[in-house]
Amino acid sequence: MDPECSQLLPALCAVLADPRQPVADDTCLEKLLDWFKTITKAGSSLLLLQENPCLVELLCHVLKPQDLSSRVLSFSLRLAGVFAAQEDCFQYLQQGELLPRLFGEPGPLGGAAWTAPSVRSGWIQGLRSLAQHPSALHFLADCGAVDTIFSLQGDSSLFVASAAGQLLVHILGLSMQGLAEGHPSLQAGDWPVCAQKIVGHIEESLHSTAVPQITQALNVLTTTFGHCHDPWTQVLWVRLSPLVGSLLEKDPVPAAHSLVDLLLSVARSPGLSSSSCGLWETLAQTLNHLSPTQAGPLALGILKLQDCPQVLRAQAFVILLQPLACVLKATGQDPGPSGVLDSATGDSLTVDVLLSSKAACVGLLCRTLAHLELLQPLPQRPCPWPQEPLLGAAVTLLQLCRGSASPASDVGRHLCALLLGCVRVQRAALDFLGTLSQGTGPQELVTEVFAVLLEYLRSPDSSPTVLKKAFQATFRWLLSSPKTPGCCDLEPHALLVLRELLPVLQKRLCSPCWEVRDSGLEFLTQMTRHWGGQAGFRHALLASEVPKLTEQLLRDPESYVRASAVTVMGQLSSQGLHVTPVSPEHPGGQQSLLVELLHILSTDSEGFPRRAVMQVFTQWLRDHHADVAGDTEQFMARVLQVASQDLDWEVRAQGLELALVFLEQTLGQFHSHCPYAVTPPVAAPAGSLAQALQPLCRVRLFEFAFRALFDCDRPVAQKSCDLLLFLRAKTASSSGSLEESRSGPDVASVEAALQRWQAGDQGQPLGDLEPEVVLAVLRSVDLEGLRGALAEGSDHMEKSPQSLLQDMLATVGVLGENEADCY
Amino acid sequence: MPEIRVTPLGAGQDVGRSCILVSIAGKNVMLDCGMHMGFNDDRRFPDFSYITRNGRLTDFLDCVIISHFHLDHCGALPYFSEMVGYDGPIYMTHPTQAICPILLEDYRKIAVDKKGEANFFTSQMIKDCMKKVVAVHLHQTVQVDDELEIKAYYAGHVLGAAMFQIKVGSESVVYTGDYNMTPDRHLGAAWIDKCRPNLLITESTYATTIRDSKRCRERDFLKKVHEAVERGGKVLIPVFALGRAQELCILLETFWERMNLKAPIYFSTGLTEKANHYYKLFITWTNQKIRKTFVQRNMFEFKHIKAFDRAFADNPGPMVIMPGYCVQGTVGHKILSGQRKLEMEGRQVLEVKMQVEYMSFSAHADAKGIMQLVGQAEPESVLLVHGEAKKMEFLKQKIEQEFRVNCYMPANGETVTLPTSPSIPVGISLGLLKREMAQGLLPDVKKPRLLHGTLIMKDSNFRLVSSEQALKELGLAEHQLRFTCRVHLHDPRKEQETAVRVYSHLKSVLKDHCVQHLPDGSVTVESILIQAAAHSEDPGTKVLLVSWTYQDEELGSYLTSLLKKGLPQASS
C-alpha cells in the first residue's frame, strides 16, 4: 500500500465505523474491497493489518451494538474474510476472538441486522473467502456455520441462496482435499466430519418431499461434479446415485430441470461417466420419465457427450425429433427413409403437449428447433442426420405459421390453428432453416425451401424481425447452392431464385420500416460481396431497379439506413455495378458517387453514414478504385481535410487508417502491413525517400497525423502514434543523409505547434511541410513515451485507490446537502 | 394458486441498473435492462445468470419492456440481446427507440474510447438490438401474444418516458419506470387511469422528500447564473445532454428574452444537438404549452443558445453549476464533494478556484407525487423500487396506512410473491339457464343466487352444464349415492308394530308427500326408505334406518330430525 493511502486509511475507517456518517454509495465499498483483494493477493495480509491497525479496529467496532448501516456491516464481513484467507492472518484475527464474533452466534447472525439480505450475503462471501485452509474448516465446524449455510440455501434472496449452495460445494471440496489423493476406494464413513455433515444434509434433502429442498441438493451436487473430478467424487456418486434414481419413481419427477443438469454434469465428468454405477441406465430411464418439454435439454446434452452408448444416443435423438415428427405426421408427410423420424412418430404424449395449448405448442416447437440448430454443426451430431425430413419439417412449420399449408388430419388442422401468425415459431424455424443450409437436399425440397422463403419475404404480414431472419436464411441457402466446378457463379436454379428475389428486395427497400430497409441493404451487401464479379448475378442485378433504389437510400431519413446504403454503393461501385447515366450535370457517372459520398462525409449530421463513407474510401484506396486512382493525391487531401474536422472519433480514426494505406502504397511495397511488425524495414536511398514523402506532404497527411497525436479521443491519438512510429521505423535507415535539416527553423515552428496542440490550443494550419522537417520532427517527438501514456484509460487517475479514498472522505458531510440523486 | 412474482435484479433497494423480472399468470416479462454507471466491470450489468439458468432466455422471457432512454434503464440492452442471447421482442415508445441508440453509442464511446475496454458491445450490436424493438404509442394496447398485452402511459420525466401496464387475463401489473407528477417547462405530468392493477411497481427516488417549489429552484438558478454573467464571468453547466439540458435551455432562453440579456449561451455540439433534433421531432410528447405554441415557434429552435464551437474555448469558470448526480470516479463527483485540489494526468494538480453549486433538476416524483399516483391507479398492492432502503421503509408505512394496501420493497434478488384471485370466465349451457328460468325467477344483478350444475373443464374452457348433460357429454354412468342414518326409538313393541306407528305418524304429518307402507314392513316417503330393526343389546329400543338419495337430502334430513323427536304416544 502506498504511503498516501496508508495515511488516508485511518480517517476512512473512522468514517465507516461511525453510524452517523452515511456512506455515499455501495459502489465505493465494492471498489474498496476490490482494492483490498488486490493488495492481499500481492502480499501478506498479516503485515497489512499490523501496519494499519485501524483495519482491525474497524472490524471490532462494527460489532458494537449500534445502528450501523447494513452496507458497512456487509463490507466488514467480506473484508474480514479476505484477510483471514491467509492462514497466519487467520490465526492473528483468531487471537482476538474476532472471527467467532463476526461469523458466529454472537455476531450479526443473531441480531436484527440479519434481516438485511446484504448482511447475509456479506456473511456468506466472507466465509467463502476465508475458507482456504484447514484451520478455517475447524473454525466453520466450531462456530456452527455449516448449519446456518444449510438454512441459507432456502433464503428469500436468490443471490444469498445461490451463494450458500456455492459455499457448501467449496467447503465440501476443501474438506476432502487432503484425503482425496491416493484414496479412490475411500468409504464415505471415513470422511471428514464436515464433509459427512454436508453429504448427510444432501441425503436428507433428497429424501424430502419438498421440491425446493430437492432442488437445492441437486444443484449442490451439479456444481460439485462440474468443478471437481477428484476420485472422491466417484465414491460420492456411488453413494448418492440410488437416491437420485429414486426421484424418477415419483410422478411427476420433482425438480426435473435440476435433475437433468445433475445427470449431464455427472455424464460430462470423466471419472464418473466411465465408472459402472448405472449412469447410462439412469439417463435412459430419465429420458422416458420426463415430459417432452423437460426431456429436450437432456436429450441435447446426451447427444453432445463425447462418449456415450449408441443406444442411448439413438433414444435421445428420437426424443429430440419427436415434436417435428408429429408435425410431419399431422401434415401427412413421409418422415423419410432414414427411419429415425419414423420411429419417433408414435408418441402420443408429445402430440398431447403440442395440442394442449398454444403456449405449450409454441414453447415445445421453439425449444426443439433451437436444440436441433445447436446440434446440427457439431461433429458429434447423430449420423445419419435426417436432413430431408428436418428440412421438410422446417418448411412445413413455416407454412403452418403462414396458413399456407392445408393439412387433412384433425391434428394438422389443430396445429395450423395454433401456429397461425406465430412470430416466435417463425423466427425459430427460419433460424433453423438457415442452419440446415449447411447440408444438402434433393432439388425439389430446395425449391420448396426457396419458395417458402420467398413467400415470407413477399408477405405483407412478415414482421421486421422475421424478414431479417428470412433474408439471412435466403442468403445462406443461396450460398450453399451446388456450384459448377471451377466456377463460383450462382448455379442456374439459384439464378432463377435471384430473378424472383430482386423484385421482392426492391419492394422491401421501399418499406416504411427502417429496420426492413436496413435488413434489405445488409442482404444486398452480402450478395454483392459474394457474387459481385459473376456474370449471372451482375446481369440480374443491373436489369433490376435495386441499384437505383439503393442510391436513393443514400438520402434516407434514418442514419442507419444511409450508412448501409453507403456500404452497398461503395461495393457496387467497386464491382462496376454502379453506373449513373451520363448527364450534363454528372459528366462521368462514377465520379458522381465519389462526390456524393464526399458530400455525405462533410454534411451528414449522424456519425454512422460518415463512418461508412470512410470505410468505403479506405477500401477503394486499397483496391485502386478507378476514381481514386485517377488523382489519388487530390482525393486524399480532400478526405483528410474533411475527416480531420469531424466530431466523431471513429471517423477521425478511420481517417488515420486511410492515411496508413496511402502511406504504405506511397512508400512502396513492404513485406509487412502491420505497423507493429519487428521486421527490419527495407532501406531506401535518401533521395528516393524524400521523393516518396513528397506526396504525403502534399496531401497534408503529416499535419493530420500530428494533430491527431493530441486528439481528445484516445483511440485516435493511439492510432496516430502507431502510424508515426511505423513511418519512423520505415525511414530510420536513411536518417543520416537528412541530418543537416534537423536544426532548420521550420522544425522549431512545427515543434512549437505540437506543444500548442498538446495544450489544447487549435491554432493555425501548419502549411506545406518539407519531408526533411517531417523526419526531423518524427525523431524529436517522444512517440514511445506518448504511446505509454495513451495506454492508460482516461479515467485512470479517478480510478486509483488514492482517489477513491479521497472521494469517500470528501463525501462525508456533503451527502446530506446534496441528497442521493439520480438521472 | 395463481400468483404474481416480482424479482428485482437491479433497482431493488438501490438506484441504478434497473432490471425487474415479473412473472404474471405464467408469462415472464423483464422491466428495463439498465446498467450501473458506478462500475467499470461486469458488475455494471444486472446478473443475468439467474435467468439463463432457467434454460434459453428467448424461451423463458416473453418480452422486455424499456421505460425510457436513460442508461440506468436501457444501458445493458445490447449486451443482453446480442451477447447474452435474448432474441425476443423489446418494447419501448417511439421517442425512446429514436434516442436510445444515441445514448448507447455515447456510452460505448466512453467505455471503449476513453477507458479502453475490450469485449464491449459494438455499433453493429446496438443497431441489431434496436432492430428487435417494437415501438408503441401511448394508450395503445399491444398484444405481445394471445394472452399478454401491454399499454403505455405518459410518465413525464424525459421525452418518451412511459409507464407500462402489463396484463394477462384479469391480472395486471403497472410499472412506472421513472416519472414526474408535476409538469416542467418542456414536459407534462405523468398520468394513469384508474386501472386498479393487482400490483403497482413504482420508483421511489424521492420517497421521503417533499420538493420545494420548482419556481424557487429555478429563480435561484437563474439568479446565480445572472450574477456570474453580470460580474463578467462565465458559467459552465455540465448536464446530461438528454432531458435536463433541454429543460435548462428553455429556462435560460426565456430568461434571456425577458431580461434582454446579450451574453451568449452555448451548448456543446454532439449529443445535445442530436437530442434537440429529436425534441423537435417528437413535439407531441412535450407539454401542452410547447405543443400549442410550436406552430408559431418551436421552443427547441433557440434564439440565444447556439452550438458551441471549439474556437470559443477558453478557461472555464468562475462558476460551475451541477444540475444532476455524478457517480464516484468522475471529476464531477470530486468537485461536488468539495475537493479543491484535483490531481490530473501526469501528476498535474489543479486547484479548483471556481464557485461550485449543486442544484437538482432531475425530474422524479416526490413523496407527494408518488402518493398521488397510487391514489390515481388504485392498486391492490404496491412494490417500491429505485430508491434507498431507509427512505422506502418510510414511504412503505405511509402507503400502507393511507391506502390500506400491502406495500413491498424487495432487495435485489429477493422475490415477492403475491397470490391473486383471477376471475375465470365460465360458460353456462342454455339448457341449465332455461331450467332456472322455468322456476320463474328472472335474473337480477343485485340478487345473486345459487345455481347448481356440473363444471366441465375441457380444452382450457370452463362450462357449467346440468349434471344430465355432463353425464351425456362425458359418456359416464350415474352412480346412486344413498345416505343412511340410524335413529334410536324407545319402543318395546315388535319391529313391525314400530314400523306401523312410524307410518301413521308420518302419514299424518307429511300430508303433501307420498307415504307408503310396503309389504316387507318398510316405510317409504318419496325415495326415502325407513326400516325398523331390533336393538342388539337393548330389547326396549328399536333402531330406525333412514336412507335417502343425495337428491332428497333436504327431505331426508327433515325426516331424521322429525323421527329423532320420537313418535306420539299411541292413543289406543
Query: pLDDT-based confidence at A743, cuts 50/70/90?
Result: very low
CB contact under 8 A, A156 and B415: yes
Which residue of A118, A424, A814 is in closest CB contact with B337? A814
Q: What integer is the mean pLDDT of A476-497? A: 75
Measured distance between the N- and C-terminal CA atoms of chain B, rounded to whole angstroms: 65
Which residue of B123, B329, B413 is in closest CB contact with A795? B329
C-alpha cell at B330: 468522475
CB contact under 8 A, B460 and A799: no
pLDDT at A672: 44
Which has more confidence, A812 or B212? A812
Which has more confidence, A147 or A814? A147
Min CA distance, A818 vs chain B (Å)? 7
C-alpha cell at A21: 456518517
The B454-458 sheet, strands edge to edge: B427-428, B461-465, B454-458
Chain A neighbors of B40, CB-CB under 8 A: 795, 799
CB contact under 8 A, A798 and B310: no
Angle formed at CA A580 by CA A579 and CA A581, multiple of 5 degrees: 115
Cβ under 8 Å to B: A residues 101-130: 116-118
- Total Cβ atoms within 10 A of residue B419: 9
Q: How far apart are CA A584 and CA A815, in angstroms?
A: 70
pLDDT at A678: 46
Residue B19, helix vs strand vs coil: strand
pLDDT at B467: 86
Instruction: Kindly compute the dihedral angle of the four CA atoms of residues A650, A656, A662, A668, in this order, to the nearest 10 degrees.
Output: -130
Which has more confidence, B207 or A154? A154
Which residue of A25, A157, A794 is in closest CB contact with B114? A794
pLDDT at A817: 45
CB contact A170 to B (< 8 Å): no
- Give the closest residue to A103 by CA, choosing from A135, A72, A71, A142: A142
CB contact under 8 A, A799 and B40: yes
Min CA distance, B511 vs chain A (Å)? 56
Which residue of B327, B386, B413 is in closest CB contact with A27? B327
pLDDT at A348: 75
CB contact under 8 A, B324 and A804: no
Chain B neighbors of A297, CB-CB under 8 A: 55
pLDDT at A680: 45
Q: What integer is the mean pLDDT of A16-36? A: 86
- Total Cβ atoms within 10 A of residue A410: 10
Q: How far apart are CA B29 and CA B24, in angstroms?
A: 8
Which has more confidence, A794 or B153? B153
For residue B405, is it left (φ>0), alpha (ψ between -120 and 50) or beta? beta
Cβ under 8 Å to A: B residues 102-161: 105, 109, 112-116, 123, 127, 130-132, 145-147
Query: pLDDT-based confidence at A686, cuts 50/70/90?
Result: low
User: What whole-number percentage of chain A has pLDDT above 70?
Assistant: 88
On the question of pLDDT at A496 being above 90, the answer is: no
Q: How far apart are CA A126 and CA A143, in angstroms?
A: 14
Q: Could you say which of B171, B203, B218, B357 is catalytic?
A: B203
pLDDT at B553: 86
Ordered mean pLDDT values, 10 residues apiece, chain B (572 residues):
90 91 95 91 90 84 96 96 95 95 89 78 95 96 94 94 95 96 91 96 89 80 89 80 79 90 78 76 84 74 67 52 73 81 73 80 88 96 93 94 96 94 83 81 74 84 89 87 88 87 90 89 90 83 89 88 83 45
Separation in Å, CA B162 to CA A164, B92, B153, B173, B285: 38, 8, 5, 14, 10
Q: How far apart are CA B126 and CA B253, in angstroms?
A: 34
Most confident of A57-61, A582-586, A767-771, A819-823: A57-61
Q: What integer is the mean pLDDT of A1-26? A: 86
Contact (CB, 8 A) for A504 and A457: yes
Min CA distance, B255 vs chain A (Å)? 25
C-alpha cell at A567: 456500404
Residue-wise burial string across B11-47, b where 16 or more C-beta atoms lie within 10 A, e elsewhere: bbbbbbbbbbbbbbbebbbbbbbbbbbbbbeebbbbb
pLDDT at A338: 52
pLDDT at A485: 53
Contact (CB, 8 A) for A505 and A546: yes
pLDDT at A822: 47
CB contact B412 to A (< 8 Å): yes
- Calculate helix-pair angle for A464-480, A443-458, nearest 10 degrees: 150
Which residue of A162, A807, A823 is in closest CB contact with B362? A823
- Whole-model pTM? 0.86
Backbone angles phi, psi at A404, to 5 degrees: -95, 0
Minimum mean pLDDT range among A143-147, A744-748, B342-346, B524-528: A744-748
Q: What integer is the mean pLDDT of A502-528? A: 96
Chain A neighbors of B115, CB-CB under 8 A: 793-795
Min CA distance, B325 vs chain A (Å)? 5
Query: pLDDT-based confidence at A583, cuts 50/70/90?
Result: low
Q: What integer is the mean pLDDT of A178-205? A: 77
pLDDT at A340: 59
pLDDT at A261: 95
From the CA atom positions of chain A, what is the Rg in Å?
A: 35
Minimum mean pLDDT range among A478-492, A760-774, B81-95: A478-492
Cβ under 8 Å to B: A residues 561-580: none
CB contact A762 to B (< 8 Å): yes
pLDDT at A734: 57
Chain centroid to CA A610: how far?
26
Chain centroid to CA A20: how far?
43
